[in-house]
Structure 1
Amino acid sequence: MSTLTGTRHLVRLILRRDRFLLPLWVLVLAVLPMTYAKSFFEFFPTEAERAAYATGTGRNPSIVALLGPLYGDSVGALTAQRAGFLLVIVALASLLTVVRHTRTEEEAGRRELLGGSVLGRHAGLTAALLVTYAADVLLGLLSAAGLVAAGLPAAGSYAYGLATALTGIVFATVGGLAAQLTETAGGARGTGIAVLGAAFALRMVGDTATHDWPSWLSPLGWAPRIRAYEGERWWVLALPVLVAALFAAAAYPLSVRRDLGAGLLPPRLGRPTAGSALAGPFGLAWRLHRGQILWWSVGFGLLGLILGGAAKAAGRSVAGNPQLEQIMAKIGGAAGLSDAYLGATLGLAGWAAAGYGIQAALRMRAEEAAGRAEPLLATETRRSAWLLSHVVFALLGPAVVLVVTGLATGLTYGISTHDLARELPRMAGAGLAQLPAAWVLAGVAVLLYGLAPRLAPVAWALLSVCVLLGQLGAVLELDQWLLDLSPFTHTPQVLRDSWSPTPLWLQTALALALTAIGLTTFHRRDIPTV
């Protein structure tokens, strides 16, 4: 029997299980670059306006740290830089997809069950990598086609698409290697995300320093250096191909050396006796969620520092652009444009906070699927207490993330405007304004889990729809009733002089109602529910 026996069947199984999630993130990430290009064509139609934008904003150190370097002032170059952060999202999605179909399957015991049939030892890893590689390639091709359709040159478009695909392939292979090192899915995800964070940090340091050699050490730094639309350097594409091959060459031997279900690295043992902080369901929930809250807060705190530092430059980037100057006049001049920029970026943080809330809510499903919830609930622990212990973090976690993001944004923006006392509370409040909408999606996740755990991942699809409507609604000129389906559409712009808190109260009430219904239905169903 070959070590790859059964790979084709596992590929079909992965495609069947990811038939909704995989197309969503591929399509959303493929369409966004096209919308950026159309925006630049609309708002910066002349060469002088694009040059002014490139000088005022595109080369701002905070923007460069977040998005990457800018190599020209053409629409293509501006689009490639604007889509720079999408590389991080593509890398993260690819990494998590591979971990979910390798280490998570082993941890749940399903890979051992399949291994009792005619299945080669390398089939599982190969199937996960093949599906993710194919998704990344499709994403790259669709991105390139969309950019060409937007009016950009074909060579630069396909250079950008290939760079995006290869970035995803590198981190998909990182996920495959991380799955061999640890014996838990959480450990594999943590290892992979740590590598991604280190790569992003190296790219930030290299792009903002005098010498850019640290960026050449980062897989996230190679894609910008292809210089799409500005004299493409095709040879740079060899770097991610080589590194992905090296990671794969390390992952496959490790998958044979270790026992099924075990990792190459020994697990870190805990204390022999539990401390008082672990007493009761809330103590256990705190132990399970505290790491996520910490790292999400650190990550978005750093992001807030960068966004706040770039806000002032956004207000100066429209000099000589009559169309944007008219928009600025309506929203309060350069300060108004800075506020609009900050409101939009904090809106992105709201989407991310909703993702955290869904992830925290779905931890209940993971505990039930792993068989840990049933013996716990067989004790004197009440169902309501166990459910609420996780719901608290699904609601509290997004609040912490948004407050930290708002405070960090207000800190750097307040320092740049010499008005820290005013901007710090304003930005914290603007961050919290995104919270009720994030709570609505977390409430949906709790409701779906209470009704039927298998339906709970649909909450991720709803979040993807919200992101799609927010990013593409105006570009595609969708009807307002369709845009209103997203709770984020109803979030008021609190940085403006006048706004109504009514939508915030209504969203909060809706989130609590959804959570209450989820709690009620959870009491009425069996555990576990297949």
Structure 2
Amino acid sequence: MSTTTARVEPSPAREAILNARPGVILRALLRQRLRRDRWQLLIWLVCIPLLASFSAASIDQTYGSAAARAQLMRLAIADPTILVLRGLPQGTSLAAVTFFEIFTFLALLAGLMNTFLAVRHSRAEEESGRAELIASSPAGRLLPTAATVIHATLANVALAVLTALGFASAGLPLYGSFVAGAATGGAGLAFFAVGLLLAQLFSTSRAANGFASAVVVLAYVVRGIGDATGTPFGDGTHLRAAWPSWLSPIGWGEQFAPYTANDWRPLLLQVGFAAVLVAAVFALQAVRDSGAGVIPERSGRPSARASLAGPFGLAWRLQWPTVLGWTIGGALGGLLAGALASVVNGTLANDSSLAGIRQSIARIGAGGSGPLTELFISAIFSIVGVLAAACAVQAVIRLRQEEAAGTAELMMATPLTRVRWLFSFVAVGVVAVVAVLLAAAVASGLSAVAAGEDPSTIGSSFAAATAQLPVALVYLGVLTLLFVVAPSATIPVGWAALGLGAFVGIFGGLIRLPDGVRHLSPFADAPVVVGHVDWTGGYWMLGITAVALAGAAVLIRRRDFAIG
């Protein structure tokens, strides 16, 4: 008996794929990335240049005269609070003051944009299994990474050009505006490389994103310490940053000194740093297993902990590394607040510009008329409040990720109700917010006392932390309601609302935004706990949180799960 084997003729499409040259494959991968990111990138590439343009126009209206700008720069150099939050004074021209006011925030946003992009096209692809499928084709393992690097480079070039046009559209010098745009794009490229490297180290996109975001925030804080401890020179309106600023890509961006020195050399530092990290990424990717991180995961337990029998235990298990990262960031922010508060109190107690310094701190969001140390701590805790709110946002985003991946629907096959599943993640968000603020309060109080401040400073630190609790909770509650009503909008709207809310609420006072605009942000209505205590804004936010969560509990019963 004879047998015949059917001969499978290769299809033209398969032959085309197998015989495609690397350049053709690379272009196809690049087109895929551009298509996938078209809406996320569009939001970033529109919002960041608009912030640059809007800030330049606002400062022109507020500080139109050279004398007003000179007074602002001298006040900033005298007050470390402003230097930590804003940047490096480099002259009194309208363009130089604009760069001082807005650049560090633009670089922070550029850093977050790039770290998210890096993890989305590397670790997240491996986690979903798509990277392994592509690696089985002629693309291999390295061409997708090369496409991601090119994609990020093009995105940052576009960011640099659009940011430059944003500055120039407000009437600032064109050449200096392109230097400022290059500083922003260069910082973004450096942070992209950081995110890509962390995606090699960790085995989950959640951990990679969490640590990458912490690195961006840490770079902002380190830069702030370097600026706050810098040395004035010239006519008292220029500052030379201390060495900590040189440890941060954001600090490197400040050294461009647009509109004054227009120094392009720091771009070599940013690009060189990115090139070194990208080379390390290619070296690691060539030797590690697909899907595995350089830092190995711990072996699982033979049996699950009793805490995993309920939804809260599972929600906590999924999120505790992220919560830990934000908590460490909160502790560092508190440490900065307590340590610098003593410096402010000691050096400015008899300063003739004390009234102006109090006014500038109040514009940051620290209302009241108490001691200068308490005002400073309250101002710094506005930034800690952003970290706590970010932790709340990530808790809700995790809800969306669980739903999109289909794992939430699997849990609904058990006796678990939708409301209980929803509120298990909300409860983790509440715990995370409290942990961030508590760590910051303890670190702030102890560091201030260690620096020689009165022990009552510990109470001031806890009061400042408590004032930020309603702000973080209102983000948690409203975003939870948005997740129930429009799940696909949860992630982009969550981060956009946090970024714009922080800018408008905390920094809007420094550029004299209208009160009606400022009070659209919860950060502008944080309770006043210095001097005359006023919890009116806090009560309103707690009420809004309760209503939003109640609405989410009712509506979650009535909608289908949105997978994908």
TM over 0.5: yes
The partner residue of 1:229 within 233, 248, 259 is: 259
Distance 1:77 1:314 in 2: 26
User: Contact 1:99–1:189 at 8 Å: present in 2 too?
Assistant: yes
Distance 1:117 1:314 in 2: 65
Residue 180 of structure 2 corresponds to 160
User: Per the alignment, in what secondary structure is the counterpart of residue 388 of structure 1?
Assistant: helix
Residue 292 of structure 2 corresponds to 262
Question: Deviation digits for residues 334-360 of structure 1, max 9, x if unmatched?
Answer: 859987776665444444433221211
Give the AA of the match of 2:424.
Answer: S
1:82-231 alignment runs, 5 A limit: 82-83=101-102, 85-86=104-105, 87-112=107-132, 121-190=141-210, 192-193=212-213, 196=216, 208=229, 215-216=245-246, 218-231=248-261
Q: From the superposition, tell whether residues 433 and 221 of structure 1 become closer, same or farther in structure 2 (CA, over 3 Å).
A: closer
User: Per the alignment, in what secondary structure is the counterpart of residue 29 of structure 1?
Assistant: helix
User: Per the alignment, in what secondary structure is the counterpart of residue 189 of structure 1?
Assistant: helix
User: Contact 2:195–2:208 at 8 Å: present in 1 too?
Assistant: yes
1:81 Cα offset (Å): 3.9
The partner residue of 2:488 within 454, 466, 479 is: 454
**Is 2:457 the counterpart of 1:438?**
no
User: Contact 1:449–1:455 at 8 Å: present in 2 too?
Assistant: yes
Give the AA of the match of 1:354.
Answer: A
Distance 1:234 1:459 in 2: 35
**Is 2:407 the counterpart of 1:391?**
no
1:94 Cα offset (Å): 1.0
User: Contact 2:195–2:209 at 8 Å: present in 1 too?
Assistant: yes
Distance 1:339 1:237 in 2: 39
Name which of structure 1's ranges 510-519 and 165-174 shifts more when overlaid on structure 2.
510-519
1:159 Cα offset (Å): 2.0
1:8 Cα offset (Å): 4.5
The partner residue of 1:358 within 387, 393, 396 is: 393
1:169 Cα offset (Å): 0.6
Q: From the superposition, tell whether residues 202 and 355 of structure 1 become closer, same or farther in structure 2 (CA, over 3 Å).
A: closer
1:493 Cα offset (Å): 4.0
Question: Deviation digits for residues 290-326 of structure 1, max 9, x if unmatched?
Answer: 333332122123224434636658996857979x79x
Distance 1:29 1:336 in 2: 36
Distance 1:437 1:186 in 2: 24
User: Per the alignment, in what secondary structure is the counterpart of residue 399 of structure 2?
Assistant: helix
Give the AA of the match of 1:57.
Answer: A
Residue 326 of structure 2 corresponds to 296
1:389 Cα offset (Å): 1.8
Q: From the superposition, tell whether residues 93 and 332 of structure 1 become closer, same or farther in structure 2 (CA, over 3 Å).
A: closer
Distance 1:478 1:455 in 2: 28
Q: From the superposition, tell whether residues 485 and 242 of structure 1 become closer, same or farther in structure 2 (CA, over 3 Å).
A: closer
Name which of structure 1's ranges 32-41 and 142-151 shifts more when overlaid on structure 2.
32-41
> TM-score, normalised on structure 2?
0.75
Name which of structure 1's ranges 196-205 and 84-93 shifts more when overlaid on structure 2.
196-205
The partner residue of 2:271 within 230, 233, 241 is: 241
Distance 2:490 2:127 in 1: 20
Question: Deviation digits for residues 170-213 of structure 1, max 9, x if unmatched?
Answer: 11122223323333213433554565577567656766489956
Give the AA of the match of 1:519.
Answer: A
Question: Deviation digits for residues 449-472 of structure 1, max 9, x if unmatched?
Answer: 334543432333443453465466
User: Contact 1:52–1:319 at 8 Å: present in 2 too?
Assistant: no
Name which of structure 1's ranges 348-357 and 58-67 shifts more when overlaid on structure 2.
58-67
User: Contact 2:104–2:250 at 8 Å: present in 1 too?
Assistant: no
Distance 1:176 1:146 in 2: 28
User: Per the alignment, in what secondary structure is the counterpart of residue 137 of structure 1?
Assistant: helix
User: Per the alignment, in what secondary structure is the counterpart of residue 366 of structure 1?
Assistant: helix
Residue 12 of structure 2 corresponds to none
Distance 2:403 2:291 in 1: 19
Task: Let me know the Cα RMSD of the aligned residues.
Answer: 4.4
Distance 2:225 2:250 in 1: 12
Q: From the superposition, tell whether residues 483 and 55 of structure 1 become closer, same or farther in structure 2 (CA, over 3 Å).
A: closer
User: Contact 1:35–1:475 at 8 Å: present in 2 too?
Assistant: no
User: Contact 1:145–1:157 at 8 Å: present in 2 too?
Assistant: yes
User: Contact 2:367–2:375 at 8 Å: present in 1 too?
Assistant: no
Q: From the superposition, tell whether residues 352 and 35 of structure 1 become closer, same or farther in structure 2 (CA, over 3 Å).
A: farther
Distance 2:524 2:84 in 1: 29
Distance 1:526 1:42 in 2: 50
User: Per the alignment, in what secondary structure is the counterpart of residue 226 of structure 1?
Assistant: coil
Q: From the superposition, tell whether residues 410 and 146 of structure 1 become closer, same or farther in structure 2 (CA, over 3 Å).
A: farther
User: Contact 1:5–1:118 at 8 Å: present in 2 too?
Assistant: no
Aligned residues: 524
User: Contact 2:374–2:460 at 8 Å: present in 1 too?
Assistant: no
Name which of structure 1's ranges 390-399 and 185-194 shifts more when overlaid on structure 2.
185-194
Q: From the superposition, tell whether residues 6 and 476 of structure 1 become closer, same or farther in structure 2 (CA, over 3 Å).
A: farther
User: Contact 1:53–1:317 at 8 Å: present in 2 too?
Assistant: no
Instruction: Structure 2: give runs of 5+ residues left out of the alignment.
Output: 1-19, 232-240
Distance 1:44 1:319 in 2: 20
**Is 2:49 the counterpart of 1:30?**
yes
State the identity %.
Answer: 35
Distance 1:218 1:456 in 2: 31
1:382 Cα offset (Å): 4.3
User: Per the alignment, in what secondary structure is the counterpart of residue 479 of structure 2?
Assistant: helix
Residue 369 of structure 1 corresponds to 404
Q: From the superposition, tell whether residues 218 and 338 of structure 1 become closer, same or farther in structure 2 (CA, over 3 Å).
A: closer
Residue 317 of structure 2 corresponds to 287
Give the AA of the match of 2:263.
Answer: R
Give the AA of the match of 2:269.
Answer: L
Q: From the superposition, tell whether residues 7 and 218 of structure 1 become closer, same or farther in structure 2 (CA, over 3 Å).
A: same
Bigger radius of gyration among the two? 2
Distance 1:332 1:522 in 2: 39
1:508 Cα offset (Å): 2.1
